[in-house]
């Protein structure tokens, strides 16, 4: 056999790995750090001079790597707006990796790339004009959308930034204090400048304040600054708040700015009819994003950017022609084999040339669940957040710190006689003990200057018993610490 040949049978290897993954998903193995002294040395060492072969690698994966993975598939993982993926999209990812390593050429995978984008747009209440492109996550998806905004804004001012550079015209973006921090990075990468992101105050519900936005826009326009884009968030990372879309969109239009909606987490929330009115004004968006690897349960690495006019993406991101690439394709009317055409040219709509076939993964989710299945998932997760809020309202040991809108609930443990600074320290210790001692893995944030416990319910394996278990554990641990505190021996 050639030294270049790969040994092993795909069905055998994937079967062995699948068995190890099933065992991992059953849980009970605890946190990887509890066994760090075992697996870290086993996975260390120099580059091998001679390979160990496929069988040995599969065995190491099954025995050492998989059992010591992240706990994001545990039903109590609610720390990030990402959780373990569903089974069907995992298998679809494997199918794409083997049968279509790239998303291009005239194949079923290229067709599903576009079809799934259209389905995803329809699912999230976008009109048929909105066309999309996949990327690796919300950071890149926002970068792409704001790149389109920059292209449009400077074209309106008489220049082509993608071809000629930015020039000396001062530019600005506008977003609430709760906006995801990757917007500042996008501003830096795009040459707009991190310092030119105008941070707009929020109201008592952590939503962008339209009056403050209007003042910032008017001041900049008067000063000769080009307002590139107003950014509204649907489902902020901290609390799940939804900015007032119509007010923000109308102000953007009135001041000649692009209107972008960051729906990386919360855009699918429109499916919960109890919340649909909060999405009023979404139709004003020039661009929006959504991450299927968040609420839809896709494996990490899939986001979508939608724009009303995809030709703007082409002008902003198109590559210069390459003889080895474009020159290899035939006239579109003479396509006879799959390699005669690149298919939909997604490479010209964003920042990636090489890219996996992500559409098949999203297609598999929407094909498996349908609109109503996704709606049930969204409603159920939102109900979990409301259940925590109900538990907090009924308990003298829990305090709701932000009324849940989507599936995030911010709350804290409270104890008689402990002031806010003491409660911040107490709740930080409660959180550490939750993560170290229990199967419940929320994260934290700060709401109105106070430390809070923050579960985000998007995990398809979560059941109501796990949500109640979290509340019970917070009270139990908090009571233990508060009791110790009265004796002067708590470690905060």
pLDDT at res. 353: 80
pLDDT at res. 491: 40
Burial of 37 (0-12, 13-18, 19+ CB in 10 A): exposed
pLDDT digits (tens, 9 = 90+) for 124-180: 999 999 999 999 999 999 999 999 999 999 999 999 999 888 888 899 999 999 999
pLDDT at res. 490: 40
Average pLDDT, the chain: 91
Neighbouring residues of 304: CB distance < 8 A, sequence distance ≥ 6 = 117, 120, 132, 133, 134, 135, 141, 289, 290, 291, 292, 362
Q: Give CA separation, 213 vs 104, 219, 228, 246, 285, in Å.
A: 42, 10, 14, 13, 17
pLDDT at res. 186: 94
Q: How far apart are CA 197 and CA 380, in angstroms?
A: 36
pLDDT digits (tens, 9 = 90+) for 420-459: 999 999 999 999 999 999 999 999 999 999 999 999 999 9
pLDDT at res. 344: 77
pLDDT at 2 over 60: no
Mean pLDDT of 332-355: 76
pLDDT at res. 485: 44
Whether 308 and 281 have beta carbons less than 8 Å apart is answered as: no
pLDDT band at 319 (very low <50, low <70, confident <90, very high): confident
Half-sphere CA count of 409, side-chain side, radius 13 A: 23
pLDDT at 1 over 80: no
pLDDT band at 323 (very low <50, low <70, confident <90, very high): low
pLDDT at res. 69: 92
Mean pLDDT of 85-112: 90
Mean pLDDT of 383-393: 98
pLDDT band at 488 (very low <50, low <70, confident <90, very high): very low
Q: How far apart are CA 224 and CA 27, in angstroms?
A: 59
Q: Give CA separation, 124 vs 127, 135, 184, 270, in Å.
A: 9, 18, 26, 6
Q: Give CA separation, 221 vs 156, 170, 218, 255, 368, in Å.
A: 14, 10, 5, 8, 49
pLDDT at 372 over 50: yes
pLDDT band at 334 (very low <50, low <70, confident <90, very high): low
pLDDT at res. 102: 87
pLDDT at res. 200: 97
Task: Single out the residue of 57, 77, 80, 61 nearest to residue 23, CA to CA.
Answer: 61
Which range has highest mean pLDDT (9-13, 177-181, 209-213, 482-486)? 209-213
Which of 3-12, 15-24, 117-126 is predicted least confidently? 3-12
Q: Helix, strand, or coil here: 157? A: coil
Q: Give percent above pLDDT 70 in the chain.
A: 93
Per-residue burial over 403-420, b if 16 or more Cβ lie within 10 Å, else e, is: ebbbbbbbbbbbbeebee
pLDDT at res. 17: 94
Identify the residue whose tokens are 């040991």. 397
pLDDT at res. 348: 85
Neighbouring residues of 374: CB distance < 8 A, sequence distance ≥ 6 = 123, 268, 271, 296, 365, 366
pLDDT at res. 328: 62
pLDDT at 492 over 50: no
Distance of CA 180 to the CA centre of its chain: 10
pLDDT at res. 325: 61
pLDDT band at 4 (very low <50, low <70, confident <90, very high): low
Distance of CA 269 to the CA centre of its chain: 14
Task: Single out the residue of 80, 229, 82 nearest to residue 144, CA to CA.
Answer: 229
pLDDT at 417 over 80: yes
pLDDT at res. 293: 96
pLDDT at 212 over 90: yes
Domain covering 100-357: architecture:
3-Layer(aba) Sandwich (3.40)
pLDDT at res. 249: 98
pLDDT band at 487 (very low <50, low <70, confident <90, very high): very low
pLDDT band at 383 (very low <50, low <70, confident <90, very high): very high
Mean pLDDT of 325-342: 66
Q: Tell me, which fold does domain 371-486 have in CATH?
A: 3.90.1150
pLDDT at res. 168: 85
Q: Helix, strand, or coil here: 179? A: coil
pLDDT at res. 39: 93
pLDDT at res. 341: 62
pLDDT at res. 306: 98
pLDDT at 486 over 60: no
pLDDT band at 28 (very low <50, low <70, confident <90, very high): confident
Task: Single out the residue of 220, 132, 144, 227 nearest to residue 182, CA to CA.
Answer: 144
Q: How far apart are CA 328 and CA 321, in angstroms?
A: 11
């Amino acid at each position: 056999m050639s030294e270049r040949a790969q040994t092993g049978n795909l069905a055998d290897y994937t079967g062995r790995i699948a068995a190890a993954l099933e065992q991992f998903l059953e849980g009970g193995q605890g946190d990887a750090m509890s066994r760090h002294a075992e697996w870290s040395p086993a996975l260390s060492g120099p580059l091998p001079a001679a390979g160990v072969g496929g069988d040995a690698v599969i065995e190491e994966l099954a025995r050492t790597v998989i059992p010591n993975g992240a706990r994001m598939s545990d039903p109590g993982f609610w720390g990030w707006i990402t959780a373990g993926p569903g089974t069907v999209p995992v298998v679809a990812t494997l199918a794409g990796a083997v049968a279509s390593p790239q998303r291009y050429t005239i194949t079923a995978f290229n067709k599903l790339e576009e079809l799934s984008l259209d389905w995803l747009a329809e699912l999230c209440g976008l009109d048929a004009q909105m066309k999309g492109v996949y990327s690796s996550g919300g950071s890149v998806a926002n970068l792409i959308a704001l790149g389109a905004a920059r292209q449009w804004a400077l074209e309106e001012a008489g220049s082509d930034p993608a071809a000629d550079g930015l020039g000396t015209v001062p530019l600005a973006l506008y977003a609430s204090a709760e906006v995801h921090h990757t917007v500042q990075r996008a501003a830096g990468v795009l040459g707009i400048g991190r310092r030119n992101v105008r941070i707009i105050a929020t109201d008592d519900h952590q939503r962008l304040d339209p009056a403050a936005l209007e003042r910032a826009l008017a001041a900049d326009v008067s000063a000769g600054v080009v307002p590139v884009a107003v950014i509204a968030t649907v489902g902020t990372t901290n609390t799940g708040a939804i900015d007032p879309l119509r007010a923000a969109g109308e102000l953007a239009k009135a001041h000649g700015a692009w209107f972008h909606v960051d729906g990386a987490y919360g855009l699918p929330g429109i499916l919960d009819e109890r919340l649909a009115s909060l999405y009023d004004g979404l139709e004003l968006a020039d661009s929006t994003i959504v991450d299927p690897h968040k609420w839809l349960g896709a494996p990490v690495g899939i986001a979508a950017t939608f724009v009303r006019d995809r030709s703007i993406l082409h002008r902003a991101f198109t590559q210069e022609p390459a003889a080895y690439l474009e020159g290899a394709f035939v006239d579109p009317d003479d396509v006879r084999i799959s390699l005669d055409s690149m298919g939909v040219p997604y490479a010209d709509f964003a920042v990636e040339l090489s890219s996996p076939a992500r559409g098949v993964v999203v297609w598999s989710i929407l094909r498996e669940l349908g609109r109503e299945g996704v709606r049930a998932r969204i409603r159920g997760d939102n109900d979990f957040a409301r259940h925590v809020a109900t538990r907090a309202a009924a308990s003298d040991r829990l305090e709701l710190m932000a009324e849940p809108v989507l599936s995030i609930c911010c709350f804290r443990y409270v104890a008689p006689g402990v002031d806010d600074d003491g409660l911040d320290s107490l709740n930080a210790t409660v959180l550490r003990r939750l993560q170290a001692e229990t199967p419940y893995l929320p994260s934290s944030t700060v709401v109105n200057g106070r430390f809070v416990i923050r579960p985000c319910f998007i995990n398809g394996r979560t059941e109501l018993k796990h949500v109640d278990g979290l509340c019970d554990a917070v009270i139990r641990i908090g009571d233990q610490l508060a009791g110790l505190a009265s004796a002067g021996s708590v470690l905060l």
